[in-house]
Amino acid sequence: MKNENEDKQTIELSLTPRNYNGDQNTFFTSTTISLGAIPQTIKAKNFSTIKWRGGSRKGKNFLYATGFTADVDTGLSIHEAQERLEQAGLNYVLAPSKSHTPEQHKFHVLLPFSHRVWSPSTYQNIAKHISGEILPGSDRAVTDTARFIYGSPDHTDITTNFGDKNIDVTKFGPLWDSSLMITTARGVEIKAVDLDIKTPIHCPFHADESPSAFVDYAKDSRNWYIHCTACDKTTFWMEKQVTDNPDSFESYWSYGTDVWEMGIKGDDFYIERIGRPKFHILTDTISKEKRDPAFGRLVRRKHISHLTRIDYLGDVQADQHYYQVNPESGIIEVHYAAIPVKDQDNNFVEDEGDAALRGNFPYAL
Each residue of 148-163: pLDDT tens digit?
A: 999 999 999 999 999 9
Q: At what angle do helices 275-282 and 288-301 cross, to 10 degrees?
A: 110
Give the contacts of 75 (CB within 8 A, at least 6 positions apart).
Answer: 136, 137, 138
Q: Output the average pLDDT for the chain.
A: 87
DSSP per residue over 77-146, as a string? -HHHHHHHHHHHTB-EEEEE-TT--SSS--EEEEEEEEEEE--HHHHHHHHHHIIIIISTTB-GGGG-TT
| Nearest alpha carbon to residue 18 among 50, 40, 51, 49 | 40
Say whether pLDDT at 258 is over 60: yes
What average pLDDT does range 172-200 have in this prediction? 90
pTM of the model: 0.69
Say whether pLDDT at 243 is over 50: no
How much is the pLDDT for 140? 76
Distance CA 48, CA 45 (A): 10
DSSP per residue over 304-319, as a string? ES---EEEEEEETT-S
Banded model confidence at residue 219, pLDDT cuts 50, 70, 90: confident
How much is the pLDDT for 15? 97
Say whether pLDDT at 188 is over 80: yes
Q: In what order do the strands lie in the sheet with 10-17?
A: 29-34, 10-17, 45-48
Distance CA 322, CA 15 (A): 57
What average pLDDT does range 125-139 have in this prediction? 91
Dihedral Cα 255, 256, 258, 261, nearest 10 deg: -20
| Nearest alpha carbon to residue 151 among 97, 102, 112, 71 | 97
How much is the pLDDT for 238? 92
Task: Give the three-class secondary structure for 328.
Answer: coil
Pairing between β-strand 309-315 and β-strand 331-337 as defined by DSSP bridges: parallel
Task: Give the three-class secondary structure for 257.
Answer: coil
Say whether pLDDT at 306 is over 50: yes
How much is the pLDDT for 230? 94
Banded model confidence at residue 363, pLDDT cuts 50, 70, 90: very low
What average pLDDT does range 102-131 have in this prediction? 94
Residue scoring higher pLDDT (352 or 226):
226
CA 235: distance to chain centroid? 10
| Nearest alpha carbon to residue 73 among 43, 39, 100 | 100
Distance CA 214, CA 211 (A): 8
Q: Which of 85-94, 156-165, 213-222, 333-342 has the lowest average pLDDT?
A: 333-342
